[in-house]
Amino acid sequence: MHSLLAELRSQLTAKPAQTAPEAEVIAVRRADLPLCCPRSHETLWNMHPRVYLPIEDDPKHEVVCPYCGARYRLID
């Protein structure tokens, strides 16, 4: 069980292969936290399992979704 959790954690923190350098950065405000992807108001809100992204823990306040490669940046 512990090894399964460790494997899942490493998959979530790994850089996604499908991230394109020109991918649009989605601005996020502190009022939008906690940040999850996909966000509930998106048209394709069920395109992959919902994952909560620790954007406030990142030194640059940027995070990439490990499933779809969406790039988020905390702007305030």
How do 35-37 and 25-28 pair as beta strands? unpaired
1, 3, 7, 18 from 27: Cα distances, Å: 36, 35, 29, 20
Residue-wise pLDDT for 3-56, tens only, equals: 766 666 666 555 554 545 567 999 999 999 999 999 877 777 678 999 999 999
